[in-house]
Chains A and B, each alone.
Chain A
Amino acid sequence: MLKERLIQYALLALAFSAVASLAVITVFIFREGVPILVSEGLWSFLTGRSWAPTRGEFGILPMILGSLWVTFGALLLGVPLGLAVAVFVTDYSPRLLSDILRPAVQLLAGIPSVIYGFIGLKVLVPAIRVSLGSPGLSVLAGALVLGIMILPNVIAISEDAIRAVPRSYRDGALALGATKWQTLWRVVIPAARSGIVASIVLGMGRAIGETMAVIMVVGNSLRLPLSPLDPATTLTSNIGLEMGYASGAHRQALFATGIVLFVFIIVLNSAATAFRRRMARA
């Protein structure tokens, strides 16, 4: 019996690893980043337009805007496409094709982000340069690459949400004479709304947190991006680029950027969890 007790406590202790890791991560990121937020002032850090570590200027507004632009663009592409694929898999796909599509989407999720980035750089960036003018390294290139990268997340969770809609909803609509598409558009998709929103929010989290692919295609310019064709920097890409050589206040400022990103992500994930809970209850 004593042995059983010990095993139970050992398991409980191990089960707290994730929580403990999260706590240590939070403590250490904040410990490194908070001092500069205090000395610079949170507001001027967030709204400052100039990032010039050598001159001691740390404003991350360009990166916040860059991240938001790129993420928004990614959602514009990834959400409709992903939702359509989810609907295809649940309601339109012949058996054979869904047997191909499922592992394909899984593979899409498994391809390393650096590969997406380099293909983006070699294929999308020149294509944008040639067809739309501008240098090509741009918010648009970042948004396109990320739009593809969030597809697996959007598809998987939307698909779950659509499958979770009770059969009787469909039967009811069809019995009233609705066509297949009317049933989907007016009944099934609205009923799956919470799950679909969760998939969008999680996709957003993935897009805003992605680093390596973005570094390669957005151009890493520190000016405020004003159009989709402008080059930009994101919160993540700036950390990824400068962390290698930063020290002192500069390094602290990168950790502070990490704090901003971390807070963004925690808020997004909490929202997604709330939506998924609502889906589970419905």
Chain B
Amino acid sequence: MPRRRRIDPKQSGAVAAGLVWLAAVTTLAVLAFILVYVLAQGLPQLSLPFLFGEPTSMGRAGGIWPMIVSTALLSFLAVLIATPIGVATAIYLTEYTREGWLTRIIRFGTEALAGVPSIIFGLFGFVFFVVYLGLGWSVLSGSLTLAIMILPTIERTAEEAILTVPRPFREVSFSLGATRWQMVTTVVLPGALPGIITGVILGLGRTVGETAAVILTAGAALHIPRSIFSPARSMAVHFYILAREGISDPMAWATGAVLVISVLVINVIINSLVGKLVRRQAVR
């Protein structure tokens, strides 16, 4: 050990505490700044005609109704596809098998998928769904790409939620003569439901804000998609195009405000659910 200059431990402790506090306050301040900035720029333009109107002249004026519909469609479909798969994976890993090489492969796949950047999902979705399967730039291509992207989130949260269901519950169910599947559907799934929903909403939040993967797979059409085979432009993509191409800053911020409010609402829902989950566990 090299000789260290002696500093009074009390002083260094106080300095450290100060720095740690500063870091926490800085983080909160950054978040507050982002929220206030976006809302201050965007809220003045928000109005019913903006929310429910069609965009005119490339989004310089008019509203964002088609983008709201497209975002809802893309996110809803993505969640609809990813949830059964993610929950099934979680059930298989927790209830139907022991840890072994098989689960290691499955876990590796999930973990690796979670780390893949969205632009790679975009490239893949483009070359696979849009071109190879011939789905074109469409709601379906976008949703399928997003579904793969959020699969790990849904799987992990479902698995965690399932693991919180106490072991004795399962044993009681078996002792009453239930088959494994009956036990899963009557004991495990109801018990894990709040956690599963949390994961689904987390996934939903990711799809709402995603841009890179969506722009390459769903396209950027300005109309309301007529079917899942039509191209669509999500709010995030609309925001990006307005902002980056300098089409209209005020309209971009108004769209951004709607995006941020959606994210806020989603987070509030998650927190209330997580709160419930924790409280229920505390009761046990």
Contacts and interface: CB of A to CB of B under 8 A. Distances in A.
A16 B106 contact: yes
A98 B109 CA distance: 34
Interface string A68-99: 00000000000011001101110111000100
B105 A19 contact: yes
Given A101-B28, A112-B211, A212-B212, A107 B263 contact: yes
A212 B264 CA distance: 20
Interface in A13-67: 14-22, 24-25, 28-29, 31-32
Interface in A238-282: 239-240, 243-244, 254-255, 258, 261-262, 265-266, 268-269, 272-273
A32 B115 CA distance: 21
A181 B123 contact: no
Interface stretch (B48-56, B124-132, B168-176, B225-233): B124-132
Given A114-B240, A236-B117, A11 B12 contact: no
Given A92-B21, A179-B9, A202 B115 contact: yes
Chain B facing A: main interface SS = helix
Q: Which of A15, A89, A118, A151 has the most CB of B within 10 A?
A: A15
Contacts of A88: 20-21, 23-24
Contacts of B205: 110
Nearest to B202: A110
A118 B209 CA distance: 14
A215 B244 contact: yes
Contacts, number: 241
B88 A211 contact: no
A10 B115 CA distance: 26
Given A29-B120, A243-B216, A269-B115, A17 B85 contact: yes
Interface of A: 3-4, 7-8, 10-12, 14-22, 24-25, 28-29, 31-32, 80-81, 84-85, 87-89, 91-93, 97, 100-101, 103-108, 110-119, 121, 123, 148, 151, 155, 178-182, 184-185, 202, 205, 208-212, 215-216, 236, 239-240, 243-244, 254-255, 258, 261-262, 265-266, 268-269, 272-273
Given A24-B128, A182-B13, A239-B119, 4 more contacts: A14-B84, A87-B20, A92-B20, A179-B13
Closest 9 CB pairs of A and B: A209-B117, A112-B209, A19-B109, A84-B23, A14-B88, A181-B13, A269-B115, A11-B92, A18-B109
22 contacts: A8-B96, A11-B92, A15-B106, A18-B106, A25-B120, A25-B121, A29-B120, A81-B26, A84-B20, A101-B24, A103-B271, A107-B31, A107-B263, A108-B30, A110-B263, A111-B34, A118-B239, A123-B37, A155-B27, A179-B13, A182-B9, A236-B119
